[in-house]
Structure 1
Amino acid sequence: MKMVGIILASHGEFANGILQSGSMIFGEQENVKAVILKPSEGPDDIKAKLQEAIASFDNQDEVLFLVDLWGGTPFNQVNNLFEEHKDKWAIVSGLNLPMLIEAYGSRMTMESAHEIAAHILETAKDGVKIRPEELQPKEAPKAAAAASSANAGQPGKMEYGLARIDSRLLHGQVATAWSKSINPTRIIVVSDAVAKDELRTNLIKQAAPAGIKAHVVPVEQMIKIAKDDKHFGGQKALLLFETPQDALRAVEGGVPLKEINVGSMSHSAGKVQPNQVLAFSQDDIDTFHKLAEDGVQFDVRKVPSDGRGNLDDIMKKAQEMLNEQK
């Protein structure tokens, strides 16, 4: 399947900046170009850049333009090119980061620019939120009822869509890239420490993507849920563990995890860091070995688009570094 090409068009460096932000969260993307209008340039300059960007795509029949401002020069030049291709191409203005991330995720399953454009609009709007919450417009009763229904327990067993070890827990890469890839109905943070921290618990719940309910539970509670999931039956869960030790307790307690995604483990005193995102103590290495003995496999990736790393090789390097410290 040829992916829909995406062009980000803006006044100034905005398009370049949001392209970089999208890559940090969702990973590097093919067939995506940023086109900017510099203060010293005019309409013909950005038109030439747009044509060059389009020509670089594998699929020039399906192009989605995400533009900063309706009626501005970038939009007007996009619109001029669009007129001859409006049966295939699409333009969405008001570019923001949630819109871009949703577009990236949508390209995995949607083959037309029109379909993606219609799909990402609601996410772009939902990305605009206010604190204090009382300033936020009230949700329409119909939409609220639909969201409540989508999160209601259904008969059947809970599906474990992804289990991830990430010391940052629910953050941008999880809330966007992994949520779009897995499509969970629930995100469950499994941590004794976080469950005791009211502030962190509230922040995690507020960080949940639209339409997905977030929970924070102690490890023992997760074990009970796994054994009797009547309150979560029929749901698809994304589990987040702060440490491999919490994941081991959950697995040995009966949470049926066959694979764990290893995303991020922060550095602290007594740990070594064999790569940019993973730091290990001797206890961490021993814990992963115990998980492997329990039949758990490991998927080392920050985001879905990354290639899978080999945890054995990474831990071997970490072990050598720890041995050198002795």
Structure 2
Amino acid sequence: MKIIVSGHGNYASGLHSTIHLLAGDVANIEYVDFTDNMNDIQLSERFQRAVIGEDSAVFMCDLLGGTPFKEAVKLSQVSQKDIAVTSGCNVGALLEVGIELTAYSASAEKLAKKLVEISQVQTKVFHHRVIQVNDEAEGI
């Protein structure tokens, strides 16, 4: 199983930098940037090379409907490989799943759903709360 991270600009290499800082090199994750000097055909070719030798793969793309997402979907439709495509997943999900990826034997679809689920759980809004202190209480 392999995860291919892709997105516009340096999205993928930025996530690679973050994952490397937090966990070192994580096996079976490939990072493919879609830069302004590339077109959709070149990106498609990079995706095809990324899945060579893999039975299954999950694409983790930055935006739903963006070029990396569309090209990954196209590949999933014509390939004989088990390929799933996600969008909008976060670095926490990639970190959590990536560390266990070599032991993961489920289908690409199940791994994709796990990435999305973890991303949803980790997406929060911080709320400030006022804590009342009782000055008359004993102790600290």
Q: 1:125 to 1:28 in 2, by over 3 A?
A: same
Give the letter aligned to residue 18 of structure 1.
L
Q: Is the 8 A contact 2:27 2:102 kept in 1?
A: no
* Unaligned segments of structure 1, at least 5 residues: 135-326
- Higher relative CO (Cα under 8 Å, sequence separation at least 6) belongs to 2
Give the letter aligned to residue 122 of structure 2.
G
Give aligned pairs, total.
128
Give the Å deviation of 1:41: 2.0
Q: 2:16 aligns with which of 14, 19, 23?
A: 19
Asked whether 1:92 is paired with 2:89, we answer no
Q: 2:57 aligns with which of 43, 60, 63?
A: 63
Give the Å deviation of 1:108: 4.3
Give the Å deviation of 1:6: 1.1
Show the counterpart of 1:47: 44
Give the Å deviation of 1:31: 2.3
After TM superposition, the score normalised by the length of structure 1 is 0.37
Q: Is the 8 A contact 1:68 1:93 kept in 2?
A: yes
**Alpha-carbon RMSD:** 2.0
- Identity among equivalent positions (%) equals 24
Aligned partners of 1:87, 1:62: CA distance in 2, in Å?
Answer: 6
Give the letter aligned to residue 48 of structure 1.
E
Give the Å deviation of 1:48: 1.3
Asked whether 1:77 is paired with 2:74, we answer no
Q: 2:119 aligns with which of 82, 107, 124?
A: 124
Q: 1:71 to 1:125 in 2, by over 3 A?
A: same
Q: 1:126 to 1:35 in 2, by over 3 A?
A: same
Give the Å deviation of 1:121: 1.8
Give the letter aligned to residue 93 of structure 1.
S
Asked whether 1:103 is paired with 2:97, we answer yes
Give the Å deviation of 1:132: 2.5
Larger radius of gyration: 1
Give the Å deviation of 1:30: 2.2
Show the counterpart of 1:140: none
Q: 1:89 to 1:132 in 2, by over 3 A?
A: same
Q: 1:87 to 1:41 in 2, by over 3 A?
A: closer
